[in-house]
Amino acid sequence: MTQPTTPQANDQSPTTPRIHWASSGGFILAAAGSAVGLGNIWKFPYITGVYGGGAFVLVYLGCVLAVGLPLMIAELMIGRRAQENPVGAFQKLHYRGSPWQITGWLGVASGFVILSFYSVIAGWALAYVFESLSGFSGAAADIQAQFDALAGSAPRSAFWHTVFMALTIGIVMGGVRDGIERWVKILMPGLLAILGGLMIYGLFFTDGGSQAIGFLFQPDFSKLSAEGILSALGHAFFTLSLGMGAMITYGSYMNRDSHIVRDAITISLLDTVIALLAGIVIFSLVFSYGLEPNVGPGLIFHTLPVLFAETGPWVSVPFFVLLTFAALSSTISLLEVVVSYFVDERGWNRKAATLVMGAVIYVLGLLSAIAVLKVPFRGSEQGFLDILDYISTNYMLPIGGLLTCLFSAWIIKDQVRREEFGSAGLAYKAFVWTLRLITPVAVLIIILHGLNLLPFVE
């Protein structure tokens, strides 16, 4: 193994030239775009519904603060300091050949896996923009069968997955500034405008607004379960795009004069507020029609379209455009992690790396698009989409997050960490000790839970 003797090998100086975001606002939009995705608009409302509302939301907010925010700061630090892709970054901040590079590898692998199935779900969202143009009508069972026909049809799911991957590849091929940054400047304001409009509709034009607010913000702790607490913790990871090097990669394009802590707070806050707004919109609709909030993953594609039959396309089309925009600004960050590795470490040119790796991920995604393709997994026959989702959320992201946390808490030089943090006062000490003790314990709990090693959770 190479020893850390040559100056370049152990060079922690932030001088390597690299393309940077054109503006700090562009970076915030890109990182918030990565964070805000299906996790906010599809998953957060449905798990909040399943785990009983207010008390779950409170625990989730605690997880974002104790686990999400420190890890977000840590990933941005690693990226900006190293100015490299995740595999290179862990070596650069330790030494060439350091075993910590495994964390970067795991991140690149997570990019492959998550993007492959995420694009299939995102494809359904895009398909539903068009389906809802002509409006939903008929009995509830028919409207629900309409979704099963899409998700159950391999050619149709594969078609929309193809379109979505092509969009993602097209944007990432354009590069950091002319592709990603340019597009998030359109997608994110569009997303906020639509969400704002839908929230006004939900709060003031349906009868469910105040009930939705009560459900989300009045905690009833009798509904809280151990399982709910662990889901809140796992979701904090997924929704903030942590544990797979996405924030390391985006951080590596940050300028020295940007303010990591302030930016991490802004990104986490945006992600949280958008999830809560999506919750208000969806539960306003659900309650205004007297439905139960706890239907699970089908909330968006099964339950909402039945309600959209009443509201008309004026609500449903913007809703699915919102979902598509949110997903697209996330998929580009997933692909960028993979591309940055091939560009930095293997010397590929960006266009070739994007096309070739995008194609490989696309083919892997076809497995998830073919719903009838089932294999034995954890005691039952399951489709690839569910299996890959399960493995990445329960193992890959938490393990990647734990390693990133330990690396930034115990391995990086204190001076480097302090410089990147921007101060050495009380806030810095609180950050370091949270990262050293609280965050790793919380993450370890998620991993043990994934392995079914926690006896007190049924």
Q: Which residues bind ligand PHE (CB under 6 A)?
A: 34-35, 37-40, 114, 238-239, 241, 244, 246, 330, 333-334
Q: How far is the CB of 111 from ligand PHE (least distance, A)?
A: 7
Q: Which residues contact 128 (CB under 8 A, 6 or more apart)?
A: 150, 301, 305, 316, 320, 323
Residue 258 φ/ψ, nearest 5 degrees = -75, 160
3-state secondary structure 114-182: HHHHHHHHHHHHHHHHHHHHCCCCCCHHHHHHHHHHHHCCHHHHHHHHHHHHHHHHHHHHCCHHHHHHH
Q: How far is the CB of 202 from ligand PHE (least distance, A)?
A: 21
Q: Which of 318, 27, 333 is nearest to 185 (CA)?
A: 27
- The tokens for 148 are 């099963």
Burial classification of residue 76, based on how many CB atoms lie within 10 Å of its CB (0-12 exposed, 13-18 middle, 19 or more buried): buried
Which is closer to ligand PHE, CB of 132 or CB of 268? 268
Q: How far is the CB of 404 from ligand PHE (least distance, A)?
A: 13
Which is closer to ligand PHE, CB of 34 or CB of 119? 34
Residue nearest to ligand PHE (CB): 39
Which is closer to ligand PHE, CB of 309 or CB of 321? 321
Which is closer to ligand PHE, CB of 311 or CB of 404? 404
Q: How far is the CB of 446 from ligand PHE (least distance, A)?
A: 15
First to last CA, the chain: 45
The Cα-based distances of 133 to 153, 212, 299, 305, 309 in angstroms read: 21, 27, 20, 12, 11
Which is closer to ligand PHE, CB of 249 or CB of 439? 249
Which is closer to ligand PHE, CB of 244 or CB of 299? 244
d(CA 440, CA 411) in angstroms, rounded, equals 14
∠ CA(333), CA(271), CA(304), 5° rounding? 95
Task: Check residue 4 and report its DSSP letter.
Answer: T
The Cα-based distances of 364 to 54, 105, 241 in angstroms read: 38, 18, 21
Q: How far is the CB of 143 from ligand PHE (least distance, A)?
A: 25
Q: Which of 334, 306, 304 is nearest to 244 (CA)?
A: 334
Which is closer to ligand PHE, CB of 275 or CB of 306? 275
Q: How far is the CB of 57 from ligand PHE (least distance, A)?
A: 16
Neighbours of 250 (CB within 10 A): 27
Which is closer to ligand PHE, CB of 209 or CB of 398? 398
Q: How far is the CB of 40 from ligand PHE (least distance, A)?
A: 5
Contact 396, 244 (CB under 8 A): yes
Which is closer to ligand PHE, CB of 103 or CB of 239? 239
Q: How far is the CB of 157 from ligand PHE (least distance, A)?
A: 19
Q: Which of 123, 119, 38, 49 is nearest to 323 (CA)?
A: 38
Q: How far is the CB of 34 from ligand PHE (least distance, A)?
A: 5
Which is closer to ligand PHE, CB of 114 or CB of 195? 114
Q: How far is the CB of 116 from ligand PHE (least distance, A)?
A: 13
